[in-house]
Amino acid sequence: MKLTIERAALLKSLNHVQSVVERRNTIPILSNVKIEGANGRLSLNATDMDLDIVEAVPAEVAQPGATTAPAHTLYEIIRKLPEGSQVEIEQSGDDSQLVLRSGRSRFTLASLPVTDYPVMSGGELPYSFVLGADDLKGLIDKTRFAISSEETRYYLNGIYLHAASSDGVPVLRAVATDGHRLARVEVPLPEGAPGMPGVIVPRKTVAELRKLLDETSVDVTISLSETKIRFAFDDAVMTSKLIDGTFPDYERVIPADNDKVLEVDCKSLSQAVDRVSAISTEKSRAIKLSVDKGGLTLSASSPENGSAVEELEASYEAGPMEIGFNSRYLMDILAQIEGDAARFAMADAASPTVVREVTDSSAVYVLMPMRV
Amino acid sequence: MPSLCRDCARPAEDDRSVCPHCGSGRMLSHPELFDLSIAHIDCDAFYASVEKRDNPGLRDLPVIVGHPGGRGVVTTACYVARKFGPRSAMPMFKALALCPDAVVIPPDMAKYKKVSAAIRALFAKATPLIEPVSLDEAYLDLSDGVRLIDRTPAVLLVRLARAIERDVGVNVSVGLSYNKSLAKLASDRDKPRGFAVIGRAEARHVLSELPVTAIHGIGKATARRMAEAGITRVEQLQSLPEAALVARFGKFGRALSHLVQGDDPRQIVADRPCKSVSTETTFSRDLSALPPLAKALEVLAFALEKRLKRAGLAGETVVLKLKTADFQSLSRQSRLSYPTQRADVLREHAMHLLEREADGRAFRLIGIGVDHLAPAESADPPDLFGARRFG
């Protein structure tokens, strides 16, 4: 194999694929990226056996062929080459070495036989639909902050993607929760999705997918079965295993009858929470909301730091109440609300509170209160 | 040279071998004797001494405190027994092979705690700055402006040692120096019933003659790495510049460069807040199958919950500790998103860690603990899904 490619193009693709490769691997070849030159394209493939990504970039292929090289080392080298340089990748006769040349630099990298590179079998992916990049971004961005990182609740370590009905309208829903907060977002159900199984897309896949979405605004083709999901872009295809578990019945924890409704300017609230919570301890991050007809008062106190109070204008008609939240969780949710105003529907100081955007009902957030 | 009688606690004019006041031969002389104020006090063979105190018939017999039976280890061997070889942490069967006549007494922790509290009460009369290390040892800061009695620290310590012997009935060894490391080193130099002093002028030289393990922070693993590089004595470390130590031992190299020169910046901290809570058990027979290990873990999780609740604490990191049949210790941890004190949560996280380790290896010990402590009020925030388990 011998090919020449522009550094910038190679760097961009390598950046996508190398982050799939784990830093520590017990299986040596999983530290490598597969490099294949054919038909005027260089294709890069990385996998951790759960997540597989293939990305192709135009290259001048003098001699087709394939090999593997250490992903992180290769990425480091390409990153450090001067801008605008050309990179020549060559593999001669045997499978054990790869030579990389650029300008006056020359690197010899140890490679492992390409025949040993694991292939992630797609299997049959019976459901397939197309989603706009912005819709997919929205589903991810508004839910990923609530993904649980507790390994013991592995079935919460991802975004639950499924078809549902919202007031009779079929929707594609994304839900994530860690037990303390929950985010539920939906878009109209795309053609091809009806009947799809509910799937839990793992956290790492979500993160890598989001990176690819950063650089595109085209449609993404999503294909899935009960065990795998594939995201196809113009030049990249990502295939991932799904979390083998049952997502809990989240509908039952979204209260429908909370009648104490508070409407408040989202940005002012977020900034005030940020200020007041500076006083609460690192461990608890608790903040208290006191509401009555006169408005909203935020307060926090800690034995070490002192106390803080801030008053905000708000619309509220029900009886006065006090409720405590984890300030960071509250700010996470407020950061997702795009409109000007947030609506809090509360029941009491111990029950889940529902937060929505006043003008948009497609996103629902549930927040468990804290003792304050 | 300043001298002091260790029996009547009166200073002597010059360097004498017999006290001019009481005729005792236990004289203490050191050029810096009255200039040093950091002490380490260590009870001699503490548990065994307490047992001998309570049963005078045992006084001249070799006494080993520890669990009898195949799997027990020596907790404390008295000085009579030590002559035959038994040491703390030695498997009981081995200790008994060395000293078959030893009287083995199972430990009575409640009793030792009481004795320890009595000793601490005596310390408290001398200074508020006491840093207990365990039931039987503590650091005392007797500096000017800290100590409560207007006597030189050396005199106070002699009186304290005497009071502990008389009122509590156990012997202690005292180390006096100008920092914690050296005070600790000193208390170990003249055991039992000792009083050793390491002054500023001699510290570097005293250290130079010691094996590297005498330095605080150099454990077995570091010592092994040093030995591989041909370093076994502190002297060799003293000759290396700080940069070389940092290059070789990372961040620790920096602290090391000071410690080997007799420089220890650690302050004595009274009532050091507790950083972790844990509990463990040694099996009567090694275990390798998951179900019995899981069962042991469950019992420990409940014990830990009880401890945490009693202390009003919760932990945000669950730590699983295991010791293999060949005495390899390993610890694995899992960070939660909130502090917990609940047995089911502790068990669930520790189980998750255990499942990865239970690969057929035989284990002799299992333990569970928590780190990153938080007050009980912040523990186990309510969960949207009510019960912790679902799905």
* Residue B176 Cα, gap to closest chain A Cα (Å): 36
The domain locations on chain A are: 2-116, 127-252, 254-367
Indicate the helix (H) or strand (E) that contains B248: helix B242-249
Superfamily classification of domain A2-116: DNA Polymerase III, subunit A, domain 2 (3.10.150.10)
Question: Taking 50 as the threshold, does the pLDDT of residue A340 lie above it?
Answer: yes
Of A155, A248, A368, the CB nearest to B382: A368
**Residue at token pair 């650029």:** A102
Q: Is A197 on the interface with B (CB under 8 A)?
A: no
pLDDT digits (tens, 9 = 90+) for B241-285: 888 888 888 888 888 999 999 999 888 888 666 788 999 998 989
* Residue B147 Cα, gap to closest chain A Cα (Å): 28
Question: Taking 80 as the threshold, does the pLDDT of residue B197 lie above it?
Answer: yes
B391·A247 Cβ contact <8 A: yes
B363/B327 Cα distance (integer angstroms): 9
Q: Which tokens sit at B145?
A: 């402006």
Lowest mean pLDDT among B129-133, B179-183, B330-334, B379-383: B379-383
Question: Taking 50 as the threshold, does the pLDDT of residue A168 lie above it?
Answer: yes
Superfamily classification of domain A254-367: DNA Polymerase III, subunit A, domain 2 (3.10.150.10)
- For residues B181, B183, B188, B189, the Cα torsion angle rounded to the nearest 10 degrees is 110
Chain A CB contacts of B391 below 8 Å: 153, 155, 245-248
A179, A120 contact by CB (below 8 A): no
Which domains does chain B carry?
Answer: 31-201 (3.30.70.270), 212-259 (1.10.150.20), 277-385 (3.30.1490.100)
- Calculate mean pLDDT across residues A275-300: 88
Q: What chain A residue is nearest to B315 in terms of C-alpha separation?
A: A283
Q: Is B390 on the interface with A (CB under 8 A)?
A: yes
Q: What chain B residue is nearest to A253 in terms of C-alpha separation?
A: B384
Give percent of chain B with pLDDT exceeding 70. Answer: 97
Q: Is A327 on the interface with B (CB under 8 A)?
A: no
Q: Is A198 on the interface with B (CB under 8 A)?
A: no
Question: Taking 60 as the threshold, does the pLDDT of residue B239 lie above it?
Answer: yes
B123/B164 Cα distance (integer angstroms): 9
Beta bridge partners of B73: B91
**Average pLDDT across chain B, whole number:** 90
B168, B183 contact by CB (below 8 A): no
Structure confidence at residue A218 as a pLDDT band (50, 70, 90)? confident
Structure confidence at residue B375 as a pLDDT band (50, 70, 90)? confident
pLDDT digits (tens, 9 = 90+) for A28-65: 999 999 999 999 999 999 999 999 999 999 999 999 99
Chain B CB contacts of A178 below 8 Å: 337
Query: How many CA atoms lie less than 13 Å away from B62 in the CB half-sphere?
Result: 17
pLDDT score of B176: 97
pLDDT score of B389: 36
Q: Is B230 on the interface with A (CB under 8 A)?
A: no
CA angle A266, A268, A272 (to 5 degrees): 115
Chain B CB contacts of A370 below 8 Å: 381
Question: Taking 90 as the threshold, does the pLDDT of residue A308 lie above it?
Answer: yes
pLDDT score of A282: 67
Q: Which of A150, A323, A366 would you mutate first to test chain B, the one with the most B CBs within 10 A?
A: A150
A248·B336 Cβ contact <8 A: no
Question: Taking 80 as the threshold, does the pLDDT of residue B15 lie above it?
Answer: no
Q: Is B355 on the interface with A (CB under 8 A)?
A: no
pLDDT score of B391: 29
B161, B180 contact by CB (below 8 A): no
Q: Is B374 on the interface with A (CB under 8 A)?
A: yes
pLDDT score of B312: 87
pLDDT score of B388: 42
Question: Taking 50 as the threshold, does the pLDDT of residue B325 lie above it?
Answer: yes
DSSP annotation of B102 reads P
* Residue A67 Cα, gap to closest chain B Cα (Å): 34
* Residue B388 Cα, gap to closest chain A Cα (Å): 9
pLDDT score of A292: 93
Q: Is A179 on the interface with B (CB under 8 A)?
A: yes
Chain A CB contacts of B378 below 8 Å: 283-284, 286
- Calculate mean pLDDT across residues A242-256: 94
Q: Which tokens sit at A343?
A: 């609506």
Peptide bond into B192 cis (omega under 30): yes
* Residue B303 Cα, gap to closest chain A Cα (Å): 21
B374·A284 Cβ contact <8 A: yes
* Residue B333 Cα, gap to closest chain A Cα (Å): 12
B337·A247 Cβ contact <8 A: no
Q: Is B377 on the interface with A (CB under 8 A)?
A: yes
Chain B CB contacts of A254 below 8 Å: none
Of B377, B384, B390, the CB nearest to A368: B384
pLDDT digits (tens, 9 = 90+) for A112-138: 999 899 988 768 999 999 999 999 999
B310, B376 contact by CB (below 8 A): no
Q: Checking phi first, is residue B32 left (phi over 0); if not, alpha (psi -120 to 50) or beta?
A: alpha
Q: Is A283 on the interface with B (CB under 8 A)?
A: yes
pLDDT score of A200: 98
Chain A CB contacts of B381 below 8 Å: 180, 326, 368, 370-371
Helices (H) and strands (E) in chain B, counts: 13, 15
Of A151, A179, A182, the CB nearest to B334: A151
B381·A370 Cβ contact <8 A: yes
Indicate the helix (H) or strand (E) that contains B366: strand B363-375
**Residue at token pair 């549930």:** A366
- Which position among B32, B51, B137, B305 bears the catalytic label? B137
Sheet holding A236-241, edge to edge: A65-70, A32-38, A41-47, A51-58, A236-241, A228-232, A219-224, A127-132
B336·A150 Cβ contact <8 A: yes
pLDDT score of B378: 81
B352·A149 Cβ contact <8 A: no
Of B334, B374, B383, the CB nearest to A179: B383
pLDDT digits (tens, 9 = 90+) for A63-114: 999 999 999 999 999 999 999 999 999 987 777 889 999 999 999 999 999 9
**Domain A127-252 classified CATH 3.10.150.10?**
yes
Question: Taking 60 as the threshold, does the pLDDT of residue A307 lie above it?
Answer: yes
Indicate the helix (H) or strand (E) that contains B113: helix B109-126
Q: Is A132 on the interface with B (CB under 8 A)?
A: no
Domains A2-116 and A254-367 share a fold: yes
Q: Is B376 on the interface with A (CB under 8 A)?
A: no
B337·A283 Cβ contact <8 A: no
B355 is catalytic: no
- Calculate mean pLDDT across residues A266-277: 95
A369, A349 contact by CB (below 8 A): yes
Q: Which of A26, A153, A372 would you mutate first to test chain B, the one with the most B CBs within 10 A?
A: A153
Give percent of chain A with pLDDT exceeding 70. Answer: 98
The size of the A-B interface in CB pairs under 8 A is 53
* Residue A202 Cα, gap to closest chain B Cα (Å): 16
Q: What chain A residue is nearest to B344 in terms of C-alpha separation?
A: A152
* Residue B322 Cα, gap to closest chain A Cα (Å): 20
- Calculate mean pLDDT across residues A9-29: 90
Binding residues of B for Mg(2+): 42, 136
- Calculate mean pLDDT across residues A212-236: 93
Q: Which tokens sit at A305?
A: 């730091």
Q: Is B359 on the interface with A (CB under 8 A)?
A: no
Q: Is B352 on the interface with A (CB under 8 A)?
A: yes
